[in-house]
Amino acid sequence: MTEVTITNMLTVELVDHMGDDHAIAQAARVSTIGAQYQDIDEVADGRLISYLMRDRHASPFEHCVMKFRITCPLFTGRQILRHRTNSYNEESGRYREMEPLFYVPPPERPLVQIGKPGHYTFELGTQEQHELTLHSLVRAYSAAWREYQFMLSKGIAREVARAALPSGLFSTMYMTAKLRNAFQFVALRIHDAEADVVSHPQWEIEQVARQMDDFIKELFPDAWTAWVANGRPSL
C-alpha cells in the first residue's frame, strides 16, 4: 500500500546536558584566581556572566553542553547540519527502510514569498493556497512512496530506492552542542526584529530553534538573559 502519514510537528527533546550557569563562571574565573577553589556565589556568577557576554568572551560558554533529539524533515535536517561545530548522528536511509512520515505546513505557516534575495518578506496566503499545498504535497509524497516500496519489493537496495524520497520526509537525529554554539544556532535560526543582526531563517528550522531556545533559557537562565540583553549575538 502507498498510504503516507503527514504531520506539521517538528520536535526537539532534551536528552542530557552538562553544566549550569555556575559552570560558566567557574571556567571564566580561572583566569583571575588560578588554582584556588571558589565557593558558589550566585550573585557574583550572574554579574560575571553578564560581563562575559557584553565583551563577547565566548570561551567560558563552551564548558556547558546539551544533547538533543530532533525529528524534522530532511530539508530542515540539511540546514541543521550546516552548523558544523556540533556533533550529529542521524537516521540512515542506507541502513534502514524509512517510515512514511512527511511534512505539510500548518495553517499558521506563511506560504507566499514577496521580494527578492536579501529582501524577502512572507505573507500567510489564502485558505485556498493552504489547501492546494496540502493536496499537492500529499500527491507527491504518495507517488514517491509508491515507487520506493515498489523498488524495495523488487530487491533494490534502500540506498538506491531512497533517491525517490522527497525532502519533506521526516527523520530523527541526535545533536550535541556546546552552549556557545547553541547560542550561535538560535541567533542565526530565530527571526527577531530587535536582534542586533536580524536573521531570516526558514520557518521550519525556526520551530526547531525556538524549542532549543526554551531549553537554554531553562537550563542557563543567567547566560540566556545576558545573551538577550546583548542583542542575541552569534557568539
Q: Supply the residues annotated as catalytic.
A: 189
Binding span for its own copies by CB under 8 A among 20-28, 38-46, 206-214, 219-227: 20-28
Q: How far apart are CA 53 and CA 230, in angstroms?
A: 7
Q: How far apart are CA 132 and CA 134, in angstroms?
A: 5
Contact 125, 111 (CB under 8 A): yes
Q: How far apart are CA 122 and CA 117, in angstroms?
A: 12
The Cα-based distances of 210 to 109, 131, 151, 217, 218 in angstroms read 15, 26, 38, 10, 12
- Find the angle CA(222)-CA(227)-CA(231) to the nearest 5 degrees: 150
Minimum distance of its own copies from residue 23's CB (angstroms): 7
Q: Which of 112, 124, 218, 229 binds its own copies (CB under 8 A)?
A: 112
Q: Which of 40, 44, 197, 229 binds its own copies (CB under 8 A)?
A: 197
In terms of CB distance, is 63 or 210 closer to its own copies? 63
Query: Does 87 contact its own copies by CB under 8 A?
Result: yes
- The answer for residues whose C-beta is within 8 angstroms of residue 127's C-beta and 6 or more apart is none
Grid coordinates given for 140: 507527491
Q: Which of 9, 38, 44, 113 binds its own copies (CB under 8 A)?
A: 113
Interactions with its own copies, residue window 158-187 (CB under 8 A):
158-168, 170-174, 176, 178, 180
Minimum distance of its own copies from residue 113's CB (angstroms): 4
Binding span for its own copies by CB under 8 A among 38-46, 96-104, 207-215, 216-224: 96-104
Interactions with its own copies, residue window 46-65 (CB under 8 A):
51, 55-56, 59-60, 62-63, 65
Q: How many residues does the chain have?
A: 235
Query: Does 96 contact its own copies by CB under 8 A?
Result: yes
